[in-house]
Every structure is written in C-alpha cells, then in structure tokens.
Copies of this chain bind each other. A is one copy, B any other.
C-alpha cells in the first residue's frame, strides 16, 4: 500500500463523504462557477489538509465523529483552494501555465473573482452554521497567509532576510494553515481550549517542517535528481542560502548577494550559487532544522494513547519530511 493510502486508511469513509460535501460547499447557480468547480474537483491533490482535520478530530475524540468536522474540513479546503487560485494570478499571463486552463484574456480576472468566491463561501459556511469558534481559528490564519506572502515579496526586493525573518515568513505563509487544520480538527469535536492550542502548535511544527522540505527541493529535487533553482530565480532567499550567507567571508557574501540580485536569470550563475551553498553546509544545516521541527511535532503526540489515528498522524509527520515532491 502506498504511504498516502496507508495514512488515509482509518478515515477512508470520511474522506469519501468529504468529497461530496466539499463539492456541495462550492455550489453556485452560476454556470461559469459550476464549470470551474467541476474542474477543481477533478484536479484534487493529495488532500493533506482535510486529512489532518479528520485524523486529529478522530484522535482527540477517540473516533467520535461530528458533522461539524466535515464543515471544518470544507472551511479549510475552500480557503486552501482559494489561495492556490489566487497564487495563479500572474503579471504576464502568457509566460506560465496556471491552475486553470482558461482563455488568457479573462484568466486573471476570473482567477481573482473565483478565489474571492471560494473565500466568501468558506466564511458563509461557518456563519450559516454558527461555527464561530472555527471561524476565529481560521481568520487569523487568513491574515497571516496574505501577510506572510507580502513579507516574502518585500524581502525578495530588499534581500535583507535573516534566519528569524525566514521562519516568520514560513510560519505565516504555510504553517499557519496547517495549524488551523489541526486546531479546527480538535475544536470541531468540542476539545477544550488548551487542547485546541496544543493541536494548533502540533500543526504549526508540521507546517514549518513541510515548508523547509519544500524549500530544500530548490537545492535537490529528489524526483528529478537535480536542483531546480526556481526560488533563486525569483530572488526568494531560503534557509540553505541564508545559512551560507551567515557563514562565509565578506567577499563571498557580496558575490552571493550580487548573484541573486543581478544574475538570478543566469542559469550558470544559479548553479554556482547552489554549489556554493552546498559546499558551505547549507543543506545539512537546513535538514537538521527540519528534523528539529519533526521531533517537536512528534513529541506533542506522546500524551495520546496508541490508536490507528495517532499512527496515521505519525506516518503523516514523517511523510512530510520524506516525500519526494
């Protein structure tokens, strides 16, 4: 059995039912919306986020499942999909193929409106059902996601990023939504605030490890067997590079900054930067940081008795770090 199937096993039925409920949650009478919705449902990814919601809800409640958990998972998945759709807004629509196969003329306009539509549906779902505790959890994440991305753009322009700012960015742009998954999983089955907070912390650790792993693919893509260098092209400075910058001579630092600033489209130069970062030990350092967060996440599960849900969560934490893409 594939690892993802193995993780899903104890919540297989819930995940199947969730698919229907998620499609319902996107429902609109507008034809154009229906068509895009249909496309999204077909194109669904691994659905990591609803899996976190269901597994935590099950673990915390010893398998006692509530309808509210489905709404929590839909709330998260609506917001995650909205962020993917909005991430697809580009400044030159011909340069990149995006989330939708939409006619280029309307592409950005429809993407922004459709993302807004999904966001509004998520808020409406919670308001209609008075799931205000879930809405409180997610509303802060929503803000942090947008703020984290804007902070990253600011830093890509100024190239003055430190390790602390790097962690701030990835906590905001990625980890906060996974923290909401695990927090909402607990809240949806009526957990006390303390346990909700603990589960939020659990998700945040996972999310940080997840984003570090993602950033490592820029240096060694396990699937294609070589670095991608996309982040450097986009002037995004991630942990391996930040470590190298903090552990080299002034002359080397100047060369690194100049490379990212002025030669980021030069493939040969990007390769040299990657080689330098590796030689400085940037990868080992980054991997060790990632493993710290993995360990912190697993530590928080210790207080729970063994269960199939807990086992799946452990598998999932490890999968985040060991995945090939």
Which of A10-18, A54-62, A114-122 binds B?
A114-122
A222 at interface by CB-CB < 8 Å: no
User: What distance in Å separates the Cβ of A24 from its nearest Cβ neighbour in chain B?
Assistant: 14
Contact B142 A120, beta carbon cutoff 8 Å: yes
Contact B143 A120, beta carbon cutoff 8 Å: yes
Task: Give the copy number.
Answer: 2
- Among residues of B, the one whose C-beta sits closest to the C-beta of A136 is B127
The one of B112, B124, B143 in contact with A124, judged by C-beta atoms closer than 8 angstroms, is B143
Q: Is the interface of A mostly helix, strand, loop or mixed?
A: helix
The residues in A between 77 and 109 inclusive whose CB is less than 8 angstroms from any CB of B are: 86, 89-93, 104-109
The residues in A between 123 and 143 inclusive whose CB is less than 8 angstroms from any CB of B are: 123-124, 127, 130, 132, 135-136, 139-140, 142-143
Which residues does chain B contribute within 8 Å of A109, judged by CB atoms? 89-91, 153
Contact B32 A151, beta carbon cutoff 8 Å: yes
The residues in A between 141 and 176 inclusive whose CB is less than 8 angstroms from any CB of B are: 142-143, 145-147, 149-151, 153-154, 157
Contact A89 B114, beta carbon cutoff 8 Å: no
State A147–B91 Cα separation when bound (angstroms): 24
- Among residues of B, the one whose C-beta sits closest to the C-beta of A114 is B150
Contact B150 A32, beta carbon cutoff 8 Å: yes
Which residues does chain B contribute within 8 Å of A242, judged by CB atoms? none
The one of B92, B139, B151 in contact with A127, judged by C-beta atoms closer than 8 angstroms, is B139
A31 at interface by CB-CB < 8 Å: yes
User: What distance in Å separates the Cβ of A178 from its nearest Cβ neighbour in chain B?
Assistant: 17
New A-B pairs, 20, CB < 8 Å, besides A32-B153, A91-B105: A30-B154, A31-B154, A89-B89, A89-B109, A90-B108, A91-B106, A109-B153, A110-B150, A113-B146, A114-B150, A116-B142, A116-B145, A120-B142, A120-B143, A120-B145, A120-B146, A123-B123, A123-B142, A124-B142, A124-B143
A–B Cβ pairs within 8 angstroms, 8 of them: A32-B150, A33-B150, A110-B153, A112-B112, A119-B119, A124-B139, A124-B140, A127-B132
